[in-house]
Amino acid sequence: MMGLYVPLFLVALCWSLVWKGIALWKSARNSQKVWFVVLLIVNTVGILDIIYLYFFQKKETKKKVKK
């Protein structure tokens, strides 16, 4: 029975670390200090990180290159 929980825990850990890393990186690059601190402290298996990434990060603007 214990053998089932270890892989499940590792998958959840990897899932959370990936989303947290992306969200922290984007919030730092966008100078959103409050979001950075909240994301760093709150651990919700990636839910808060995903919400930030899809709804609150600053949208990147594409720059046109003139020739």
Tell me the domain boundaries of the chain: 16-54
pLDDT band at residue 54 using 50, 70 and 90 as cut-offs: confident
Is the model's pLDDT at 39 over the cut of 90? Answer: no
Residue 23: is it exposed, middle or buried by C-beta count within 10 angstroms (0-12/13-18/19+)? buried
Is the model's pLDDT at 64 over the cut of 80? Answer: no
Backbone phi, psi, residue 39, to 5°: -65, -35
- Give pTM, 2 decimals: 0.63
Mean pLDDT of the 34-53 span? 80
Asked whether the beta carbons of 27 and 36 are under 8 A apart, the reply is yes
Per-residue pLDDT tens for 10-38?
998 898 889 889 989 999 999 999 989 88
